[in-house]
Structure 1
């Protein structure tokens, strides 16, 4: 019996993804996502993140996801093909992805907790430069960082916003986090840090009334924050499935050689 016998199909609302879902609908028997051994996700990287966040919220928690790209970049996805799905699932290579747990305290004192699979970024809300204090493991490492923002990226997310901000590419399984400034002004020569993923990071907004800052965890934004606490959430591991010739760890490695 195929270990992925019971399959659920989810698709982005975009026309290409909906057309692909219609092709697959009649080829296999599909079950509700809550009953599935595997989830087939059709769309782009944004839709994959949405699907994984649905798992973190308790829907099909822990079920592996095999994505096929019907979006733009598709870094977290496999190639779209409507045929050979049985063989691809049988050969698929699993990759574990550990999300960040992000605890955000607003200037109003309200505390909200949310996960981040790729990264959490702090961004200035106005023309005023953000001023941030950065603490790692209860030690203040940057008393004042003047910048447009800062982000903390996981290895899975290190080739996304983090790479665009000139952050380092982290190999999957490296047990590291990237702490990357966005357009830093002072200290001028600080270009970020690579931290062990056991690190506990706190970022405090200095003068939030004059220089308001928002926090964005993947696709969710909270405005007017006072501070953010960030750590790995090892209790909620996610599993992505990849074709062996299209594996995520190899893609992350090869990103370092793209000019």
Structure 2
């Protein structure tokens, strides 16, 4: 049987910005907070970047519990509105939960180092120099594009499809669609390739061609690995995140609304 909100152990994490720290004084007095390692639920005060940072810390610790964000940043796509004087307990009781499946990036560098990072929004390959990148694109072991000449290429989840993916003219993906967006960044050849929609069960391998002459870096959300030889990207079904949103302001609603913004 679910634990009532009033009986839950809550953790509070606050962005170091002045705006977030100032607002957090009211929140500090509203509840007896515990550390993330002890919490049944986490309240995050800050912007989207700080929310992603907190979620990654939870993934690293293996402590995955529902997270409710309060926007004290700029865009706040992953957050709820901050309203002074509102009962946090009442808002948590009314909030709806949405499951988010992160990506796993396995990157191999030119010197043979193997690095594994999770990504909640997207994994990107980006050229390091003025030289365009040349990348071989394979899906489920089959080569789909032998040579993609571009500034880079990314794989986005539905939760991240309105971020860098949208800026690169990629499609917006509704939550629960079971798809990933594979989107080129400033493609030169093939000119007409605009990207692909793939089932989220897909394994995507991106191999760098001419990596010495045309070095490429890989970025999993905010973490970068330079001088890449190849990366493997797939959903990690064992690490499911849970984000909470006020009624009428869910992540699904926001993703849908983004498609009508002109």
* Residue in structure 2 matching 1:28, options 22, 28, 31: 31
113, 121, 125: which one aligns with 1:122? 125
Task: Indicate which of 49, 54, 57 corresponds to 1:51.
Answer: 54
Alpha-carbon separation, structure 1, partners of 2:137 and 2:38:
43
| Cα distance in 1 for residues equivalent to 2:150 and 2:166 | 17
Q: Deviations over 1:79-108 (max 9, x none)?
A: 012322111100110000010010000000
Q: Could you tell me which residue of structure 2 aligns to residue 67 of structure 1?
A: 69
Name the CA distance, whole Å, in 2 between partners of 1:26 and 1:199. 47
Is it true that 1:95 corresponds to 2:98 in the alignment? yes
Instruction: State whether residues 44 and 72 of structure 1, in contact with CA within 8 Å, keep that contact through their aligned partners in structure 2.
Output: yes
* Structure 1 partner of 2:16: 13
Structure 1 position 28, deviation (Å) = 1.5
CA contact (8 A) 1:153 1:177 kept: yes
Match in the other structure for 1:166: 169
Equivalent of 1:231 in 212, 229, 234? 234
Q: Distance in 1 between matches of 2:203 and 2:162?
A: 22
Q: Structure 2 unaligned runs (5+)?
A: none
**TM-score by structure 2 length?**
0.97
Match of 1:202 in 2: 205
Q: How many residues align?
A: 258
Structure 2 residue corresponding to 1:251, chosen from 234, 246, 254: 254
Matched-pair contact (CA < 8 Å) for 2:121–2:160: yes
Tell me how far apart the structure 2 counterparts of residues 253 and 27 of structure 1 sit (CA, whole Å): 34
Aligned residue among 191, 194, 208 for 2:194: 191
- Counterpart CA distance in 2 for 1:33 and 1:187 is 47
* Aligned mates of 1:84, 1:22 — CA distance in 2: 14
Question: What CA distance in whole angstroms lies between the structure 2 residues aligned with 1:20 and 1:90?
Answer: 21
Q: Secondary structure at the match of 2:26?
A: helix
Q: What TM-score do you get using the length of structure 1 for normalisation?
A: 0.98
Q: Distance in 1 between matches of 2:226 and 2:64?
A: 30
Q: Contact between 2:103 and 2:236, CA under 8 Å: does it hold in 1?
A: yes
Distance between the aligned counterparts of 1:91 and 1:194, measured in 2?
34
Tell me which stretches of 4 or more aligned residues in structure 1 moved more than 2 Å.
1-5
C-alpha separation in 2, matches of 1:233 and 1:20: 35
Q: 1:79 aligns with which of 73, 81, 85?
A: 81
1:2 deviates by 2.5
Q: CA RMSD in A?
A: 0.9
1:115, CA displacement in angstroms? 0.2
Work out the CA distance in 1 between the residues paired with 2:135 and 2:37: 42
Determine which of 157, 161, 167 is the counterpart of 2:160.
157
Q: How far apart, CA to CA, are the structure 2 residues paired with 1:239 and 1:153?
A: 18
